[in-house]
Amino acid sequence: IITCIECILIGTIIMGVKAAKHIPKFDKDCIIILGCQIRKDGTLTKLLQGRVDRAIEFGKMQKEKTGKDIIFVPSGGKGNDEVISEAQAMKNYLINQGIKEENILAEDKSKNTYENIKFSNNIINNKIKNAKIAFSTTNYHVFRAGNIASSQNISIEGIGAKTKSYFWINAFIREFIATLFAEKKKHILIICCIIAVSILMIAFQYLANII
C-alpha cells in the first residue's frame, strides 16, 4: 500500500511539474482566470494578481505570434467575507491594465474550481461556438484544475503563474491530498485489492505449510 501511494505521489509530481511548465497553443479564443481569495478592500492578493498577470501575458504572446485577440474570463463568486466577487475584482484589475471591457466576460457565481470551469465554459459556449479555451492559475494548481476540466469532458489547456518556492511545496502537498480525495473510490478499491491479494497469499502459504 505504501509503495502504491509512493508511485501515485511520484506520478503526481512528474505530471504536476510538466503541467506547471506547459504553454498552451496560441490559437485560443478565451482564457479563464481561476479565482481565489481577494483582500478586504476588494483588491487582488499577490497570488490572484499572479494568475491575472499570467493570463494577460499569454494574451500578449498570442497576439504577437498570431495576431489573434483573446477574451478574458475572470471566474469567482463573492465569499461571505468579500466585499465584491472575485470575478469583479479581477475585471477591475484587467481594465486598469488596459484590457477593453468588451474583451472581458466575468463569471461571478462559482464557489470552487469545479464551478469556475463549468460555469465559465457555459458562458463561453453561449458566446462563441466551439471555442478554444485556456485557463490561468497558479503553477501548483494547473494539474488538478486540468483533471477537473477533464472530468467534465471539457477540452482546455492550462498555464501557470509562478509562486514562491517555499509556498509551492506546502501548496503541492495540499493539491496532492485533494487529488487523492477526488478519486478516493478508485484508490480505496486498489487498496482493498492489495489487502485481499495479501490475505490470499498468506492463506495459501499457511495451507502449504500445513500440507
| Pairing, β 71-75 against β 30-34 | parallel
**Given this model, what pLDDT does residue 110 score?**
96
**Given this model, what pLDDT does residue 137 score?**
96
* Average pLDDT of the chain to the nearest whole number: 91
Whole-angstrom Cα distance, residue 158 to residue 149?
10
142-192 pLDDT, tens digit each: 999 999 999 999 999 999 998 877 676 777 777 778 777 777 888 889 889
16-51 pLDDT, tens digit each: 888 889 999 999 999 999 999 999 999 999 999 999
More confident residue, 42 or 13: 42
**Given this model, what pLDDT does residue 8 score?**
81
**Given this model, what pLDDT does residue 13 score?**
82
Q: Residue type at 1?
A: I
Whole-angstrom Cα distance, residue 25 to residue 98?
23
**Given this model, what pLDDT does residue 157 score?**
96
**Given this model, what pLDDT does residue 206 score?**
83
Whole-angstrom Cα distance, residue 180 to residue 173?
11
Give whole-number Cα distances, 35 to 73, 108, 174, in Å. Answer: 10, 10, 17
**Given this model, what pLDDT does residue 135 score?**
98
Whole-angstrom Cα distance, residue 4 to residue 172?
19
**Given this model, what pLDDT does residue 186 score?**
84
**Given this model, what pLDDT does residue 172 score?**
75
129-138 pLDDT, tens digit each: 899 999 999 9
Least confident of 60-64, 75-79, 203-207: 203-207
Residues 6+ apart with CB under 8 A from 9: 176
Whole-angstrom Cα distance, residue 49 to residue 55?
10
More confident residue, 5 or 105: 105
**53, pLDDT greater than 90:** yes
191-207 pLDDT, tens digit each: 899 999 999 999 888 88
Residue 73 β-bridge partners = 32
**Given this model, what pLDDT does residue 177 score?**
81
Element (H, E) at 137: strand 133-138
Do residues 84 and 42 make contact, with C-beta atoms less than 8 angstroms apart? yes
Whole-angstrom Cα distance, residue 116 to residue 107?
8
